[in-house]
Amino acid sequence: MDKGPKLIIKFGRFGPIKKVEEPFEIKPLTIFFGRNNTGKSYLAYAIWAIFEEPFLLHYEASLVDIEIDNLDEVIEAIKKTYINKEKTKIKTNLIFKVNSKKLVEYLNLKIENVDDIYVYINDIELELVPGVPGSLKGVPHHIPESYDYYKIKKDRKVELKVDYELFDYIINKGDSYPLKDIFLFMSNEVLDIIVSYYFPASRSGLFLLRKYFLEKLITKELLPMEKRRERKDIPAPIIKFFTLLPEVDPQYEETPNQEYKEVWEFLEKEALRGEIVFNKKISETYFEPYGSRSRVPINLCSSSVVELSPLLLFIKYGKLVKNPLLIIEEPEIHLHPDAQYALSRAIIRLINKGVKVLLITHSPEILQELNNAIMCNYLFNKNKEKAKEFMEKYDWEELDLLDPEKTVAYIFDEESDGVVVRKTNIDKKYGIENKLFDKILKNKTIETSDLLELLDDE
């Protein structure tokens, strides 16, 4: 089980969503299920925006405000540490209030009925230690030196330096802003999510037309956040998607990323049966089928190759920052069931390499493969010998196993007056429950059975 501070998000109304029943968690694998037009993309957009920039920048843009839950106790601990010159341990929670109206504007959306969102980082373990005086240099707010005050330790515990300047501002002057600055600087690191990336459902079409969009509609001048609001007709996550492409992102390399080789190599082999090749000199992408020496320009390839190219390029040639959150909308689009199974395994491999993933899916095949990975994980922990026999038979590796403790899933249920988001059960032995899929498949099976009976009578 993941150790360290816990992330909880409280949503109220947000577009078609009237209620999120339980405080919302983000785990290494987070899944959204639900019918079309139930607000899954809107909620994913909101999560993307919250983590797309560090909390410090959101604070400076007045998108979020910060509150330290037990501020008085933390101040007393700082006083004790400075006066007694001794280490002090204390726990605290950070609360970020997200202004939802500004968030909707930030996202370029046209929705009403929005409530403010609260992001909680709970159970932060602080170890206050006496520090060297003078490092604040008399600057009360948004101090660049704030990052010198803390160190993220094992299990994301925080060592916080207490010196005379910090003591003077907080205790003598009664000014807690330097402390807020320090927490703003550390919040994304202690949360273990540094940045989010969004891969929209329309990515294959956007990818095919990327050069047209970049030249005619967006241009590089409109890509920074302060400029992209000028394009009110395109949601911000889609505009930002273009910055992930090699034509825009200068951090793409021609040499594949070896850290994620077991992910992109598996996906190429099992889903595409060929390689995605990036030529940085001319900024072009090609597909090279196995057994062929020819390279096909990506724009002339099948829909499945085009569909997987943005994600594959990003994993294979891009530069993933530490602790990213990938939000992938409808990963199953254009993919044969075999390719969906392969993509599911590749996503599990990403998760087991430390990448967080949020999936929005309508695919029973993806759900089935995720559940197989949970069941195999259970078997592996109970009876390694049997598990290894199965894994050898079906060509599985330990990297393909999914720990249910790393997984959370939500169903978006339609009701007469709006959508309710509910957490669905995940059994550690059998996996993720999805009553929506079960009901639809059961009804369709009954319908088919009735038709077969009628045909037998003829």
Model confidence at 340: pLDDT above 70: yes
Model confidence at 316: pLDDT above 50: yes
% of the chain at pLDDT higher than 90: 59
Cα separation, 361 vs 87, in Å, equals: 48
Average pLDDT estimate for 148-152: 81
Model confidence at 5: pLDDT above 70: yes
In-domain check, residue 22: no
Which of the 8 DSSP states describes residue 363? -
The more confident residue out of 402 and 141 is 402
Given a contact cutoff of 8 angstroms between Cβ atoms, the answer to whether 444 and 455 are in contact is no
pLDDT score recorded for residue 217: 57
In-domain check, residue 437: no
Q: How many CB atoms lie within 10 A of CB 74?
A: 22
Model confidence at 135: pLDDT above 50: no
Q: How far is CA 245 from CA 47, 108, 253, 328, in A?
A: 21, 21, 12, 15
Given a contact cutoff of 8 angstroms between Cβ atoms, the answer to whether 192 and 323 are in contact is yes
Cα separation, 370 vs 367, in Å, equals: 5
Average pLDDT estimate for 416-442: 90
Average pLDDT estimate for 64-68: 92
In-domain check, residue 139: yes
Is residue 232 very low, low, confident or very high in pLDDT (cuts 50, 70, 90)? low
Average pLDDT estimate for 276-294: 90
Task: Note down the domain range covering 100.
Answer: 57-191
pLDDT score recorded for residue 333: 92
Average pLDDT estimate for 79-93: 93
Average pLDDT estimate for 37-48: 95
Q: pTM of the entire structure?
A: 0.90
In-domain check, residue 179: yes
pLDDT score recorded for residue 231: 56
Model confidence at 224: pLDDT above 60: no
Distance of CA 400 to the CA centre of its chain: 19
Is residue 143 very low, low, confident or very high in pLDDT (cuts 50, 70, 90)? very low
In-domain check, residue 381: no
Surface-to-core class of residue 385, CB atoms within 10 Å of its CB (0-12 exposed, 13-18 middle, 19+ buried): exposed
Using DSSP's 3-state secondary structure scheme, residue 56 falls into helix
Angle at CA 25, nearest 5°, toward 1 and 121? Answer: 85
Distance of CA 57 to the CA centre of its chain: 19
Given a contact cutoff of 8 angstroms between Cβ atoms, the answer to whether 206 and 272 are in contact is no
In-domain check, residue 52: no
Is residue 185 very low, low, confident or very high in pLDDT (cuts 50, 70, 90)? confident
Model confidence at 38: pLDDT above 80: yes
Cα separation, 148 vs 419, in Å, equals: 45
Is residue 142 very low, low, confident or very high in pLDDT (cuts 50, 70, 90)? very low
Distance of CA 166 to the CA centre of its chain: 34
Token pair 């929209």 in the structure block, residue? 200
| Amino acid symbol at 408 | V
In-domain check, residue 4: no
Average pLDDT estimate for 159-173: 83
In-domain check, residue 250: no
Average pLDDT, the chain: 87
Cα separation, 297 vs 295, in Å, equals: 7
Out of 85-89, 227-231, 242-246, 450-454, pick the least confident.
Answer: 227-231
Model confidence at 404: pLDDT above 90: yes
Using DSSP's 3-state secondary structure scheme, residue 288 falls into strand
Model confidence at 216: pLDDT above 70: no
Based on the structure, what is the number of domains in the chain? 1
